[in-house]
Amino acid sequence: MWYIFPQVAGLGYSEMAQWYAIRNRDEAIAYLGHPILGKRLIEISETLFLVASNNATEIMGRPDDLKLRSCMTLFALLPDADPVFEAVLKKFFDGKKDPATLQMLD
């Protein structure tokens, strides 16, 4: 989950979460602009729309549903973000961004 839907540093405490965490907005912009990483993040995010359910907990379980929300929030906040990130937030989280991610980026 950590390397598929990365989240902002400080939210996860496991070794893997810390290793794959996005440190700041600039790193998130670089990740999204990377020809492989950014493309794959958008593709896997689009794939979520193939699932009939709109319940992230049902699909992924906890705490991966929280990690998904955090990831989508992080990338939705970037300038010129692909609309898929907001769309995933709308489908699975009633459009509500993750407050912990918002706080970490302030």
- Helix H, strand E, coil C: the string for 30-73 is HHHHCCCHHHHHHHHHHHHHHCCCCCHHHHHCCCHHHHHHHHHH
Give yes or no for residue 1 having a pLDDT over 90.
Answer: no
The CATH class of the 15-105 domain is mainly alpha
The pTM assigned to this predicted structure is 0.95
Question: Please, what is the end-to-end C-alpha distance for the chain in angstroms?
Answer: 24
The continuous run of DSSP H or E covering 28 comes out as helix 25-33
pLDDT at 45: 98
Q: Look over the chain and give the mean of its residue pLDDT values, rounded to a whole number.
A: 95
Q: Parse the chain into domains and list their residue ranges.
A: 15-105
| pLDDT tens readout for residues 32-76 | 999 999 999 999 999 999 999 999 999 999 999 999 999 999 999
